[in-house]
Each structure stands twice: as structure tokens, then as C-alpha cells.
Amino acid sequence: MSDICQKCGAAVPLTLRECPVCHRESGFPNVKVAGSSKEAAALSIRYNDALASAKARNVIAEVHAFESAVATSSKAVMNRSLGALSNWLNGDSPMFYSFYHQVNYLGRTPAETDWDQQRGAAEAAINPIYYQELNYAALTLDGRGMDYYGPYAVTVRSLIIDERASVFEQNSFYFCKTHHVLAGQAPPPGYRATWGDRGRLAVAKLQPTIAPGCGADGFAGILMEPRHNASDCDFVEVHIFGPINRLGIERIVGPEPTTRADRQVWKQAVRKAKEYGAVVEVTT
């Protein structure tokens, strides 16, 4: 799949951010791939099938309400440990970089877990060439994310990511397992969308779980499975191209630490977050 450079007429693979001939900016690769005709057509088939099923089950009104809620109110949420959050808010650099940038340039050591050790293969299969540039988040309606990755849920302002974010069916690692995507194989189309079409993707995936009479108060638990502490909790994954500035933090939700030392770190993090315009909510 490729575009044509509007300046020099060269073919530009969708996986590249700039023309390989004249180097003119060509857009964010993950967004270009998600919005390509192949992906959009496959997603439309899934979406239309979901609507037909919803009509047959007499839940079309509920499904449309769910789609509207996701399309207008869902946010990207990244969960972090207290230390990682403090480093982001108080560090010399205002940027939160991708996992691979942290490993290659900032001295981060990958954990001895299947996820950290094997994630590269899955992410390269889903987003070849540019996967190392992506930050990952969960799409949520209630500001809660994957507690498994840390107790502090950081909501990112949609304004700073809407043009460089795409959404994907589920965690890339588990998607490759579920759909038997092997190294060297392309993933099936129709399981990703641009940020503006995230409501359609959510309907295509989750329509079967929407029951008659389901209202807005139940939509958050449909979009993201309630098992927030589980490594295999199911959610719609957000792919954000490039680093995220701490001024892009909209909201932080998490518990007050129990130890004295951690409470001092938390207190300083809260003060910095508020200086940057973020809302902080403490959970019990």
C-alpha cells in the first residue's frame, strides 16, 4: 500500500512518514494505514454486519447510543507506576517516549516478562517499520485504564493526539495470538481505525455484548473489560505516534501512597501535575 507524493510524484509507502525521494512530510504512518481503503472497506463490512445483528436482536438503539458515546467521549488512558509518573512530571525532558526509545536511548531495562521480551514481534507484525515510534494506551469512557501496568491512570488530552492516533481491536500481543498472526504475516484488515472512527470499531467489536436496555452507565464496562488488574484484560488499544508532552496530561486518577517516602513523591507529582493544568483525583 502506498500514496503518491504531492510534491515529486514518487510512491510513498504508508509505513513511512515522509517521501523517500524529496522527504516531504506525508503523514503519520499508523493513521495512514488505519484510514487506507483496504482497512476502511474491511471495517465497514464488520460494522454493517454488527448493525444488522443489532437490528435482529432489537438493540439497535442501544448500539447507536454506545457508538455515539465512544465517538464523542472516549479517551486514551495510560497507566503508570508512581516512579514513572513522577519522572514524567518532574524530569528534565517533558516528553514521554515510546518503550523502544526508552530502551535504546534512555537506559530502560526491559522486564523479564513475556510481554517485554516478546512484544517486539507482535508490534512489528501489526505496525511494521514504524512500531518503535508508537506509545500505547487504552480507550476508556471512565478514565480508568489497565491497572496491571500501574495504579495511576493518566488521561491524555484528545486535542494533542487526535491527528496522530489510531485505534486497534485489542492488545497487539493478544491479537496476534487470537488471530494466529505469525512473524512475516500481515494481520487481517478491518481491525483498526482512525481516531475519528473509533466508535465504528467499538461497535464492530463489541455489538454482541450490548444487551437490551443497556444504558450509558454500562458503556464503560463494555468498552473496557472490568478486570483492570488482569494482564489479559480486553480493551481497545490506542496507538499514538511519537512522544507525549506532559502538558498533554488532562487527568490523573490514582491512590494516595501508603508509605511516607511515596507520599512525598506523590505530593510533588500532584503539585507539578496541577501546574501543567491537569486534574488530579485520589481514589480510596
Q: Is 225 helix (H, G, I), strand (E, B) or coil?
A: coil
- Dihedral pair phi/psi, residue 163, rounded to 5°: -95, -10
Say if residue 95 is in the same domain as residue 146.
yes
**Measured between alpha carbons, how far is 70 from 187 in angstroms, rounded to an integer?**
24
The answer for 193, left when phi > 0, alpha when psi is -120 to 50, beta otherwise, is: beta
Summarize pLDDT for 215-258 with one digit per residue, the tens. Answer: 999 999 999 999 999 989 999 999 999 999 999 999 999 999 99
What residue has cell string 513475556?
Answer: 114
Say if residue 39 is in the same domain as residue 19.
no
Say if residue 205 is in the same domain as residue 72.
yes
Say if residue 147 is in the same domain as residue 11.
no
Neighbour tally for 238: CB within 10 Å: 25
Say if residue 138 is in the same domain as residue 115.
yes
Say if residue 120 is in the same domain as residue 2.
no
Say if residue 248 is in the same domain as residue 132.
yes
Say if residue 23 is in the same domain as residue 160.
no
Summarize pLDDT for 252-273 with one digit per residue, the tens. Answer: 999 999 999 999 999 999 999 9
Say if residue 82 is in the same domain as residue 40.
yes
- Dihedral pair phi/psi, residue 85, rounded to 5°: -65, -45
Say if residue 3 is in the same domain as residue 69.
no
**Measured between alpha carbons, how far is 170 from 184 in angstroms, rounded to an integer?**
20
Say if residue 127 is in the same domain as residue 1.
no
Summarize pLDDT for 127-136 with one digit per residue, the tens. Answer: 999 999 999 9
Q: Is 130 helix (H, G, I), strand (E, B) or coil?
A: coil
Residue 265's domain comprises 35-283
Say if residue 220 is in the same domain as residue 237.
yes
Number of domains in the chain: 2
